[in-house]
Amino acid sequence: MAIDIDGLTYEELVKLNHKIVERLKFLDSMHTHNEMMQFSPGDKVTFHPTNRERQTGTLVKYNKKTVTVVTDNGEQWNVAPQLLSKINKEKTKTNKSKQGNVIKLHDK
Per residue in 17-75, pLDDT (tens digit) is 999 999 999 999 999 999 999 999 999 999 999 999 999 999 999 998 899 999 999 99
C-alpha torsion sign, points 27, 70, 46, 103: positive
pLDDT at 95 exceeding the cut of 50: no
Q: How confident is the model at residue 8 (pLDDT cuts 50, 70, 90)?
A: very high
Q: How confident is the model at residue 97 (pLDDT cuts 50, 70, 90)?
A: very low
73 within 8 A of 85, measured Cβ to Cβ: no
CA angle, corner 80, sides to 74 and 83, nearest 5? 85
pLDDT at 105 exceeding the cut of 80: no
- Single out the residue of 69, 47, 46 nearest to residue 58, CA to CA: 69
Dihedrals phi, psi of 84, to nearest 5 degrees? -95, 150
Q: What is the pLDDT of residue 64?
A: 87
Q: How confident is the model at residue 9 (pLDDT cuts 50, 70, 90)?
A: very high
44 within 8 A of 72, measured Cβ to Cβ: no
Burial of 56 (0-12, 13-18, 19+ CB in 10 A): middle
